């Protein structure tokens, strides 16, 4: 059974780097059948797509974070990673990891439970 489990530090200081991991179980990420994305949600607000990574490493990032964001795949550990540099309070949010099928229309079909990140000194 597929499970996506996000993990991270919980709290990060302003100007530091946020590192999150999405541990995938129940399927291998080392397949072109899927692609993976991170979506975040500030407290009390809506959903924001922040980036996607395809098998083979192609990435797309939201323009507002493009110069601070990096998403990568670790196939040996079956994990998707996110790194966000120079964080500020506006990066405080629940961060979700998602899986999509490489089939038309099947975007963000499976979600992790999310991990809350607070940016505070």
Partner 1 sequence: DIQMTQSPSSLSASVGDTVTITCRASQGIRKDLGWYQQKPGKAPERLIFEAATLQTGVPSRFSGTGSGTEFTLTITGLQPEDFATYYCLQHSSYPRTFGQGTKLE
Residue 96 Cβ vs partner 1, minimum distance, rounded to whole Å: 6
Question: Binding to partner 1 (CB under 8 A): which residues in 35-54?
Answer: 37, 46-49, 52
Residues 64-93 interacting with partner 1 (rule: CB under 8 A)? none
- 46: closest CA among 94, 100, 106, 109? 94
d(CA 58, CA 73): 10
> Whole-number minimum distance, CB 95 to partner 1, in Å?
11
Binding test (CB under 8 A) with partner 1, winner from 10, 56, 63, 90: 63
Residues that bind partner 1 (CB under 8 A): 37, 46-49, 52, 60-63, 96, 104-109, 111-114
């Amino acid at each position: 059974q597929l499970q996506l489990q996000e993990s991270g530090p919980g709290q990060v200081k302003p100007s530091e780097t946020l590192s999150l991991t999405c541990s995938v179980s129940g399927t291998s990420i080392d397949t072109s059948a899927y692609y993976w994305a991170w979506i975040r949600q500030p407290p009390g607000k809506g959903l924001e797509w922040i980036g996607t990574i395809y098998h083979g490493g192609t990435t797309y990032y939201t323009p507002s974070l493009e110069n601070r964001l990096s998403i990568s795949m670790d196939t040996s550990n079956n994990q998707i990673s996110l790194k966000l540099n120079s964080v500020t309070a506006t990066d405080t949010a629940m961060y979700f990891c998602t899986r999509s099928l490489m089939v038309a229309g099947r975007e963000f079909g499976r979600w992790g439970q999310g991990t809350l990140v607070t940016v505070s000194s």
